[in-house]
Structure 1
């Protein structure tokens, strides 16, 4: 089953909104250019915003200007340039949580999941409020899920399971529980498989019901509980993705 991963970017927007009030403590000309860039960023003119931020940075190299430039470059799809700019941002202010979060998002998009995780985890050390902490932990869960599924695909199921366990420790992510259930099934850990599948259903928000029921059916079959396995496979058959697999397993019980 293909699992889609998407970093939630609402935190970047929160930081953008909060910055508009700070231009007044910059150099007046830099602040004017900063505000003009912010207006263009908000309007979707990302490279126009970058041009204004570049002008402002020639006057004052403020971490907030660097950050907004990095966000604009990310939105424009210029990930390598965004990475360089956001690295400059956190060098300019080592305690700026928004910079690390944005940098983590860029690394995630570039496929460097370990670097993404390192930046998201850095945010959690900076005394952030509960709302931001929850958002960052969701980002971490997504990153650990992607890392774990890739590790399993590469043949390292032990590391993959550890990464997926970290994913669900950070957030009750349904896709991570489903991936864990599949991994436990492939490793013959039937009780763990059932528990993970049960949590996938409990916290389900984006996945179908078929996967969790299918892996529970496999687990119950291997535990010798055919009645329970039949029940799970019948539930799984209602999901088109797992219909044929469930029908095959159901038939093998006869």
Structure 2
């Protein structure tokens, strides 16, 4: 879970540096302060950058300035302030598309995952940049995965499956496939569990190596195929994270 959070924050900040939208020229005095703020952001002086952006906004209410201010706020982990700043950005220019992706990542950080998805989808409707659109679809997949995780924790397995299917429709995310495998096993839908566990293996980037094999083992066990269950539990047992559970299952296979 922590790895996912760190990964997402890293992607947020990498994506935040690219803004698409307003093309109108800026007031020269505001532009000077804006550029000084950008330089401070690049050097990691985020509080100083905020002062520059605030001074620039006193001269001109410009969407680009609001957007860059939101980046500095997110760097300082002031996500609520970033939210209000991005909403002001949209008031100034509703076609400043990066504001919607910015809101999406902000809402994700605030754990408001449905709002994140809603704003990412607005971005997709307004953007013609296919490369950035693919990144946004990835963020949508991550957001749906979190909704699926929450639904599972609340015992709402059908809702969890729905969210996770939406996640994988947008992004072939290994953790989403793995969570689906776990849920399908819980529901006794073992063949579906095998299918998504194989996808978790095929797209594995973040999950531990033994994780999908453990859930494949459970699925084969549920289907009564002890030989294949044993084969997969043995692979899972090589993974420190799943070693104890896999060995327990191996011990109890008869």
With the shorter chain as reference, the TM-score category is over 0.9
Q: TM-score, normalised by structure 2?
A: 0.93
Structure 2 residue runs without a partner (length 5+): none
Q: TM-score, normalised by structure 1?
A: 0.93
2:38: which partner in 1?
A: 38
For 2:252 and 2:178, locate their aligned partners in 1 and report how far apart those are by CA, in whole Å.
23
* Match among 13, 20, 34 for residue 17 of structure 2: 13
Structure 1 residue runs without a partner (length 5+): none
Q: Is the contact made by 1:63 and 1:89 (CA closer than 8 Å) also made in structure 2?
A: yes
1:66: which partner in 2?
A: 66
1:126: which partner in 2?
A: 126
For 2:2 and 2:228, locate their aligned partners in 1 and report how far apart those are by CA, in whole Å.
27
Partner SS, residue 126 of structure 2: coil
2:108: which partner in 1?
A: 108
2:143: which partner in 1?
A: 143
Q: Once superposed, what is the RMSD of the aligned Cα atoms?
A: 1.8
1:174: which partner in 2?
A: 174
CA positional deviation for 1:4 = 2.7
1:27: which partner in 2?
A: 27
1:193: which partner in 2?
A: 193
Given the superposition, is the C-alpha separation of residues 52 and 2 from structure 1 closer, same or farther in structure 2, using an over 3 Å criterion? closer
2:225: which partner in 1?
A: 225
Q: Is the contact made by 2:95 and 2:126 (CA closer than 8 Å) also made in structure 1?
A: yes
For 2:187 and 2:128, locate their aligned partners in 1 and report how far apart those are by CA, in whole Å.
39
Q: Is the contact made by 2:63 and 2:89 (CA closer than 8 Å) also made in structure 1?
A: yes
- The 5 A counterparts of 1:87-98 are 87-98=87-98
Q: Is the contact made by 1:30 and 1:56 (CA closer than 8 Å) also made in structure 2?
A: yes
How many corresponding residue pairs? 250
